[in-house]
């Protein structure tokens, strides 16, 4: 038996195993044929209304045509999915995700075995896609290898827009060293958190440029800096404004030289204003900003990436700990931030920022549904689809997946979810994706199809 034949047999076996894992036939997982969703009503990722009965033709990895359901469609060599009048919507997008930091404990994320942590992240990536999240913007962590494995088909998971290591300053948010690691030797050995690519310490404009360019060399689609204090970092006061303007400007300049942008973690008005002054394009969180700062965000056309953080995340910090005290300070600002976003019509992205909790990750859809405290169901769904897709496009030529995401329209990338019910009428449907998401498609490939299997409820 020739070596080439052995390789071919192994490849087919791997393909079959992957398909069975996803509950599909090999033909569905590896299909080159077109797919047509017949008789669906479309939530397009922008409108607050559903379309009339329609047929959606997917060829290769794009939506080729959208036609009235009465139109006859050539189904030769085409996989036909009978929508039965159900809702077809874009795949969901989480704009603030940490793919490597969901399942390990904080200690294991840094000190644990790297191989094991990558396997944990791969398992979580598959669960993420099966929840209907076809894309995530990863805003801190060593996710480049995971992204490559997903893109090559070795792992089932969402598209990943990676930032790579969070860039921080000594004692800034993202600096998880202990006091015993000090003093830092400039140009000396990297600490464990830096070696694994979790976060990088940069204490001068020159160091910032190096660290930004390293992430871009790895394949970062955008850069993540921590411009102010944070909750989970032990030595990072919430009120601290960390990077100086020259340091922030160095990051923005380096990112813009590569045609992309900087997203900055910032809670307070002072941290936000400093970041905006040097050209940061996206503020993450902003929970403690004041009215004037919200107005500034609007005037400068800066994105605000907000998260309706569940209270379980706050309660995950031990009573009496420094982290719990900081969380108690931040959480009341979440509602105010959303009110500012509505008042000034800010360009608002949605994400979860789940950390160190598989249980909370499984509530990803429920966290999205919780936006109805401030928005209509259609507005909430649009934020997690079409609006988040616009934010991803800020990466320009560093975009790892060129094309339109988050919308159902001709020419857009075919990331689609068929819902058993109408999520605009009942957004709680997205809280139970195992039951209510009948078909999940990413990049034109079907990863779940309960219609074909007859496993309808």
β pairing state of 87-90 and 416-419: antiparallel
Q: Print pLDDT tens along the chain (457 aa).
A: 433 333 333 333 334 344 434 444 433 444 457 999 999 999 999 999 999 999 999 999 999 999 998 877 666 678 999 999 999 999 999 999 999 999 998 888 888 899 999 999 999 999 999 999 999 999 999 999 999 999 999 999 999 999 999 999 999 998 888 888 888 877 778 888 888 889 999 999 999 999 999 999 999 999 999 999 999 888 899 999 999 999 999 999 999 999 999 999 999 999 999 999 999 999 999 999 999 999 999 999 999 999 999 988 888 888 888 889 999 999 999 999 999 999 999 999 999 999 999 999 999 999 999 999 999 999 999 999 999 999 999 999 999 999 999 999 999 999 999 999 999 999 999 999 999 999 999 999 999 999 975 444 4
Query: Tell me, what's the pLDDT at 9?
Result: 35
Q: Which of 168, 378, 412, 156 has its CA nearest to residue 271?
A: 168
What is the Rg, in whole angstroms, of the alpha carbon atoms belonging to the chain? 22
Backbone angles phi, psi at 287, to 5 degrees: -65, -25
Left if phi > 0, otherwise alpha if psi is -120 to 50, otherwise beta: which for 252? alpha
* Dist CA 293 CA 267 (whole Å): 11
Tokens of 299: 């005037």
Fold annotation for 92-374: TIM Barrel (3.20.20)
Query: Tell me, what's the pLDDT at 1?
Result: 41
Query: Tell me, what's the pLDDT at 73?
Result: 64
User: 66 with 56: CB under 8 angstroms?
Assistant: yes
The answer regarding whether domain 3-91+407-453 maps to CATH 1.10.3720.10 reads no
User: 377 with 425: CB under 8 angstroms?
Assistant: yes
Backbone angles phi, psi at 144, to 5 degrees: -65, -45
Asked whether the CA dihedral 160, 165, 167, 172 is positive or negative, the reply is positive
* Dist CA 227 CA 244 (whole Å): 9
Query: Tell me, what's the pLDDT at 365?
Result: 97
User: 325 with 332: CB under 8 angstroms?
Assistant: no
* Dist CA 174 CA 166 (whole Å): 7
Asked whether the CA dihedral 219, 221, 223, 229 is positive or negative, the reply is negative
Query: Tell me, what's the pLDDT at 125?
Result: 98
Domain assignments of the chain as residue spans, ordered by start = 3-91+407-453, 92-374
Angle at 32 between CA 30 and CA 34, to 5 degrees: 120
Q: Which letter, b or e, does each residue of 317-340 get, where b requires 16 or more Cβ atoms within 10 Å of its Cβ?
A: beeeeebbebbeebbebbebbbeb
- First-to-last C-alpha distance (Å) of the chain: 48
């Amino acid at each position: 038996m020739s070596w080439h034949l052995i390789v071919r047999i192994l490849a087919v076996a791997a393909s079959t195993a992957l398909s069975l894992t996803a509950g599909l036939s090999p033909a569905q997982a590896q299909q080159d044929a077109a797919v047509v969703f017949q008789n669906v009503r479309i939530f397009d990722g922008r409108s607050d209304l559903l379309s009339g009965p329609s047929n959606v033709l997917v060829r290769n990895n794009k939506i080729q045509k959208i036609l009235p359901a009465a139109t006859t469609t050539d189904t030769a060599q085409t996989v036909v999915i009978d929508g039965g009048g159900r809702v077809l919507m874009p795949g969901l997008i989480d704009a603030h995700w940490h793919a490597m930091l969901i399942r390990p404990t904080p200690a294991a994320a840094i000190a644990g075995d790297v191989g094991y942590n990558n396997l944990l992240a791969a398992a979580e990536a598959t669960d993420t896609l099966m929840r209907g999240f076809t894309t995530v913007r990863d805003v801190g962590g060593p996710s480049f290898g995971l992204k490559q494995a997903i893109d090559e088909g070795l792992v089932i998971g969402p598209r990943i827009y990676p930032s790579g290591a969070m860039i921080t300053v000594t004692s800034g948010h993202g600096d998880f060293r202990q006091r015993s690691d000090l003093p830092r030797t400039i140009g000396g050995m990297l600490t464990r958190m830096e070696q694994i690519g979790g976060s990088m310490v940069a204490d001068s404009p020159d160091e910032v440029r190096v660290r930004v360019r390293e992430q871009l060399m790895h394949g970062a689609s955008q850069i993540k800096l921590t411009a102010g204090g944070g909750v989970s970092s032990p030595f990072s006061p919430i009120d601290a404004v960390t990077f100086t303007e020259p340091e922030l400007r160095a990051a923005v300049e380096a990112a813009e030289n590569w045609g992309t942008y900087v997203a900055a973690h910032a809670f307070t008005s002072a941290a936000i204003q400093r970041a905006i002054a040097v050209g940061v394009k996206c503020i993450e969180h902003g929970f403690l900003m004041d009215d004037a700062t919200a107005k500034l965000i609007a005037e400068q056309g800066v994105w605000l990436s907000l998260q309706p953080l569940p209270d379980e995340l706050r309660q995950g910090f031990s009573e009496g700990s420094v982290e719990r005290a900081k969380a108690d300070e931040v959480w009341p600002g979440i509602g105010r931030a959303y009110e500012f976003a509505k008042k000034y019509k800010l360009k608002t992205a949605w994400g979860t920022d789940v950390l160190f909790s598989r249980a909370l990750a499984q509530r990803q859809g429920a966290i999205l549904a919780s936006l109805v405290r401030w928005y209509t169901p259609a507005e909430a769904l649009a934020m997690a689809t079409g609006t988040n897709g616009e934010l991803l496009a800020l990466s320009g030529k560093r975009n790892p997946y060129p094309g339109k995401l988050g919308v159902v329209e001709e020419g857009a990338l075919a990331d689609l979810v068929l819902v058993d019910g109408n999520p605009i009428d009942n957004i709680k449907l997205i809280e139970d994706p195992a039951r209510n998401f009948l078909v999940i498609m990413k990049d034109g490939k079907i990863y779940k199809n309960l219609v074909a299997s007859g496993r309808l409820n």
